[in-house]
Chains A and B, each alone.
Chain A
Amino acid sequence: MAIFTIDEVKKTFSNGEIEEEVLKGINLSLKEGEITALVGASGSGKSTLLTIAAGLQPASDGQVVFEGKNISAMTQEQIRKIRASKFGFIFQFAHLVPFLTVEEQLELMLDVSESTLKKDERKKEIDRVLKLVEMEHRRHAYPASLSGGEKQRVAIARAIIHKPKVLFADEPTASLDSKRSKDVMALIQRLTQTLNITTLMVTHDEDMLSYADRIIKMSDGMVS
């Protein structure tokens, strides 16, 4: 069943006089519990599509429909609420909050998603997710003292702690070596399956494609 539909989405950037149509009418639907990988040449519009889907920037035309509602027509605040409670984000860099410990990063996300869990339930949930990403031994560490792979695992934990419906990942392994990349992808795959999350991922790395259920190739603003 499709929980996420991208319908005739177009995006035009205007740099002064020049108008550049980056997305030329994209149609795509994501199925629950599946990893969809977006591949394509640099500049083909992958990140643009992902950020439009995630409500981080508006489309010039077309619709993004999530759980039957058109995100493109929502107010900023409505979109923020969806991002906070229903979406998870993993970026090329971990982007952790430098002054929070590993544990606190996750607590913050529970706050942001307005989680109704009680204090001890929260703690249990944080324990569980930290175990999932194998970071429970560094729970009191600050980001500065973590390796790149460890940071990315914490970022993944943060992206899923609030049980999002959709996970958006833009080159989640680009800053990692191939061993770490595989670990992270295997983790995303496992989470997608066990938590029934729908994942939309952009990647440059051919090796990562084996983890995807579906591969969508973008070129020249179109999907094929």
Chain B
Amino acid sequence: MNMAWKEIKKNKGRFMILGSIVFLVSFLTFIISGLANGLSQDNAALIKELPDGSFYMDANADETYNLSKIDPDTQSNLLNKQAEAAALSIQMGFLNNKNDKQQSVAFVTSTDSSLFPKVKEGEVVLDASMKDTGIKVGDVLTNNQFSGKFTVKGFVDGKKYSHAPVAFINSENYKEMYRTEEMQLVFVPGEDKAQSVAGLQAYSKKQFLHTIPSYNAEQMSLNMIVWFLVVISGMLFAIFFYMMNVQKIGLYGILKAIGVKTGTLFKMMWTQMLLITAGALSLSVALSQGFKLLSPDGMPFSLTLDTTIQLSIVFLVIGFIGATLSGIQIKKVQPLQAIQQGEV
């Protein structure tokens, strides 16, 4: 006989309260995690979408790619070793459309590599989000530091940097705009372990992301909120089951007296925890996926089913631990006490 389910059925209200709290907390967690992910994409999709590999930066640049200048000889040495490797530079700037309206972009230029779009002089390839501002293929854009004009050659999906759309330009144009001969970074894909190169400092993709100051700050605070919510929900489980168990101490004692195994009582509690959590989680998974469709276009929100499922598993594990900790009372209760305590 399924006592766990029978109790839920008889005490719907009580279990609904727990269920709705779990639902609210997990829903909030999913949304914030979606936001964290969305912002991280918005901030660094350009870097995140690259394959795993190593970034090389001037060792004297103090972990700031903007200050990095890579010696051309060192650069060609590195690039010769790996066909896909690329040297690149990133600078924030503006593009003006034909009405002289300014649009903030991240100018990116790179040496020949299949990882980045190939752009001829006088051309620009833009992130697809620029379409929303009314820019079309063939439009002509200008920049205040650039003597020529940029013709829009095409669009690429999901290339953003520092919350701005990326504009890929040719390195000759870049050199003119920013009056520099050197590139800032070299990226070598597929390296498990970075080579040590004199005068350069190597970073894994993840390490490099964390050298971007805004990225670090954003992700840290959002992830902190996510983990706080997870921990809070674990405590909620512990407290809720603790209160339920305290109320049922007498009952547990009687059940033990008539010969019910302690393990059976634990299983009953676990079943209830699983049923409630699974119900609440499926609702919030469904709603958060729905939220993804409904959220306004400009809102950086990215919640994959994978992330939701991973978080759901964390919730289940935390709920299990919380419930089990509070269930230690079940183990402790002596049948005799309950009998002597009178009516339950």
User: Is residue A81 within 8 Å, beta carbon to beta carbon, of the partner chain?
Assistant: yes
Q: What distance in Å separates the Cβ of A98 from its nearest Cβ neighbour in chain B? A: 7
Name the residue on A nearest B260 (C-beta).
A112
Do A111 and B1 touch across chains, with their CB atoms under 8 A apart? yes
A142 vs B343: C-alpha distance in the bound complex, in angstroms? 15
Do A97 and B257 touch across chains, with their CB atoms under 8 A apart? no
Among A25-33, A86-94, A193-201, A211-219, the one that faces the other chain is A86-94
Do B343 and A95 touch across chains, with their CB atoms under 8 A apart? yes
Do A85 and B259 touch across chains, with their CB atoms under 8 A apart? yes
Do B339 and A80 touch across chains, with their CB atoms under 8 A apart? no
Indicate with 1 or 0, residue by residue over A139-156, a CB within 8 angstroms of chain B CB atoms: 000100000000000000
Indicate with 1 or 0, residue by residue over B301-342, a CB within 8 angstroms of chain A CB atoms: 000000000000000000000000000000000111011101
Given contacts A91-B339, A95-B339, A100-B3, whether A84 and B258 have CB atoms under 8 Å apart is yes
Do A107 and B1 touch across chains, with their CB atoms under 8 A apart? yes
A interface residues, tally (CB under 8 Å): 30
Among A56, A83, A104, A112, the residue within 8 A (CB) of B6 is A104
Do A83 and B258 touch across chains, with their CB atoms under 8 A apart? yes
Question: Do most interface residues of chain B lie in helix, strand or loop, or is the interface mixed?
Answer: helix
For A98, the chain B residues whose CB sits under 8 A away are 10, 251, 344
User: Is residue A189 within 8 Å, beta carbon to beta carbon, of the partner chain?
Assistant: no
User: Is residue A2 within 8 Å, beta carbon to beta carbon, of the partner chain?
Assistant: no
User: Is residue A36 within 8 Å, beta carbon to beta carbon, of the partner chain?
Assistant: no
Among B255, B334, B338, B342, the residue within 8 A (CB) of A97 is B255
User: Is residue A191 within 8 Å, beta carbon to beta carbon, of the partner chain?
Assistant: no
Indicate with 1 or 0, residue by residue over A39-64, a CB within 8 angstroms of chain B CB atoms: 00000000100010000110000000
Query: How many interface contacts (CB-CB < 8 Å) are there between A and B?
Result: 65
Q: What distance in Å separates the Cβ of A163 from its nearest Cβ neighbour in chain B? A: 14
Pick the most buried of B334, B336, B338: most chain A CB atoms within 10 A of its CB: B336
Q: What distance in Å separates the Cβ of A60 from its nearest Cβ neighbour in chain B? A: 15
User: Is residue B62 within 8 Å, beta carbon to beta carbon, of the partner chain?
Assistant: no
Do A56 and B257 touch across chains, with their CB atoms under 8 A apart? yes
Given contacts A93-B342, A95-B343, A97-B251, whether A113 and B6 have CB atoms under 8 Å apart is no
Do A142 and B10 touch across chains, with their CB atoms under 8 A apart? yes
A89 vs B339: C-alpha distance in the bound complex, in angstroms? 10
Name the residue on B nearest A143 (C-beta).
B344
For A108, the chain B residues whose CB sits under 8 A away are 1, 3
User: Is residue B254 within 8 Å, beta carbon to beta carbon, of the partner chain?
Assistant: yes
Binding site for A on B (CB under 8 A): 1, 3, 6-7, 9-11, 250-251, 254-261, 334-336, 338-340, 342-344
- 23 A-B pairs with CB atoms under 8 Å apart are A47-B340, A56-B257, A56-B335, A80-B256, A80-B261, A83-B258, A84-B258, A84-B259, A89-B258, A91-B254, A91-B339, A93-B342, A93-B343, A95-B254, A95-B338, A95-B344, A97-B3, A98-B344, A108-B1, A109-B258, A111-B1, A142-B10, A158-B258
Q: 11 more A-B contacts (CB under 8 A) besides A83-B258, A109-B258, A142-B10?
A: A51-B339, A57-B336, A87-B259, A89-B258, A91-B339, A95-B251, A95-B338, A95-B343, A99-B3, A99-B9, A158-B258
